[in-house]
């Protein structure tokens, strides 16, 4: 049986797993339009992009191509605005830009991150890595250093994102026990979603509410870490020790009721590896020369509890 999250945070497998959806208890329900949500004791960080570009840039430890960023009056439904942030690129000139923030002390146990993103249809066919990434470096780093393809990261690095993957929304994960490619020499971002019927198409030209939960494994030799993903308040997937049923094949998880249960995540092998960064990333290296694409972000909340979509 699957795992049902209980009010106290425990887990029961006596019933099938149920999704959290809009209208169920969430931090956002207590703060309509996200007004004042930054003052909740369970909130760790908030970014609304509403206090001017100079202030926004000052909050981030590493900024790439600030000249390509602007404030936009297009905001998610339920946001009081006035702005989102828009990141652009010019093919043959640059690959976009990013905002990276480090939390040197890090966050242990369970962390939720909710944010809004808009993928424009003009970027269809030209999306590489475009999402909010988060995770940890050991030791903490003041700049991103993703090192694609590297295996054996259990004591040094983990990263998570929910972004366009092979035409649908999927995960792009790096952690210590991730699967390698068929040759066994390289590890590329693992996807837990696209082999499931719950996978969502990319909602072009619409604001998407993304929420990702990570529960770090403790102790570090246990596979009791978890991952949970929602889109627009509807659960897309939930993976942990003993649920769901399916199979990992060269870095891709496929749901199948006839397969063994998922073993869970050993996200780390060192207790000093914690969640200690967020990274707004717009990386487009496929645009034709002099062709510009863009992405928009808004209303990020990082917390210890389920946040949920903006309450209007």
Q: What is the pLDDT of residues 58-102, one digit of tens each?
A: 999 999 999 999 999 999 999 999 999 999 999 999 999 999 999
Distances from the Cα of 137 to the Cα of 20, 74, 95, 144, 265, angstroms: 30, 33, 24, 9, 17
Residue 22, classed as helix, strand or coil, is: coil
Scanning the structure block, which residue is given the tokens 């001017």? 52
DSSP helix/strand/coil, 7: coil
Distance CA 67, CA 99 (A): 12
Distance between CA atoms of residues 232 and 89, nearest Å: 27
Q: How far apart are the first and last CA of the chain?
A: 36
The pLDDT value given to residue 64 = 98
pLDDT value, residue 16: 36
pLDDT of residue 285: 94
pTM of the model: 0.92
SS3 227: strand
Q: Tell me: the pLDDT tens digits for 13-49?
A: 333 344 444 445 899 999 999 999 999 999 999 999 9
Q: Which CATH architecture has domain 44-303?
A: Sandwich (2.60)
In a 13 Å sphere around the CA of 43, the CA atoms on its Cβ side amount to 20
Given a cut of 50, the residues of the chain with pLDDT beneath it are: 1-23
Q: For position 24, what pLDDT does the model report?
A: 57
72 CB-near residues (< 8 Å, 6+ apart): 83, 84, 85, 86, 296
């Amino acid at each position: 049986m699957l795992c049902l999250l209980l009010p106290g945070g425990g887990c029961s497998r006596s019933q099938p797993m149920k999704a959290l959806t809009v209208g169920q208890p969430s931090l956002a329900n207590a703060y309509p339009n996200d007004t004042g949500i930054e003052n909740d004791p369970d909130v760790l960080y908030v970014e609304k992009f509403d206090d001017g570009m100079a202030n926004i840039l000052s909050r981030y430890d590493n900024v790439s191509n600030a000249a390509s960023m602007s404030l936009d009056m297009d905001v998610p439904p339920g946001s009081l605005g006035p702005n989102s942030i828009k990141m652009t690129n010019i093919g043959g000139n640059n690959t976009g830009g990013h905002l990276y923030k480090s939390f040197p002390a890090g966050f242990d146990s369970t962390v939720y991150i909710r944010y809004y993103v808009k993928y424009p249809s003009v970027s269809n066919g030209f999306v590489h890595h475009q999402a909010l990434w988060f995770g940890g470096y050991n030791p903490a780093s003041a700049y991103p250093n993703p090192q694609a393809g590297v295996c054996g990261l259990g004591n040094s690095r983990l990263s998570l994102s929910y972004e366009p993957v092979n035409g649908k929304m999927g995960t792009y994960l790096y952690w210590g026990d991730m699967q390698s490619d068929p040759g066994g020499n390289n590890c590329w971002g693992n996807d837990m979603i696209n082999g499931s019927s719950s996978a969502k198409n990319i909602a072009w030209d619409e604001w998407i509410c993304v929420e990702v939960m990570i529960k770090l494994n403790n102790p570090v030799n246990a596979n009791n870490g978890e991952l949970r993903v929602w889109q627009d308040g509807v659960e897309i997937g939930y993976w942990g020790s003993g649920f769901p049923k399916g199979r990992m094949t060269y870095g891709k998880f496929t749901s199948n009721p006839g397969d063994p249960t998922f073993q869970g995540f050993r996200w780390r092998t060192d207790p000093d590896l914690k969640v200690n960064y967020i990274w707004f990333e717009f990386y487009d290296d496929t645009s034709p020369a002099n062709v510009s694409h863009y992405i928009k972000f808004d209303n990020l909340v990082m917390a210890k509890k389920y946040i949920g979509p903006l309450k209007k």
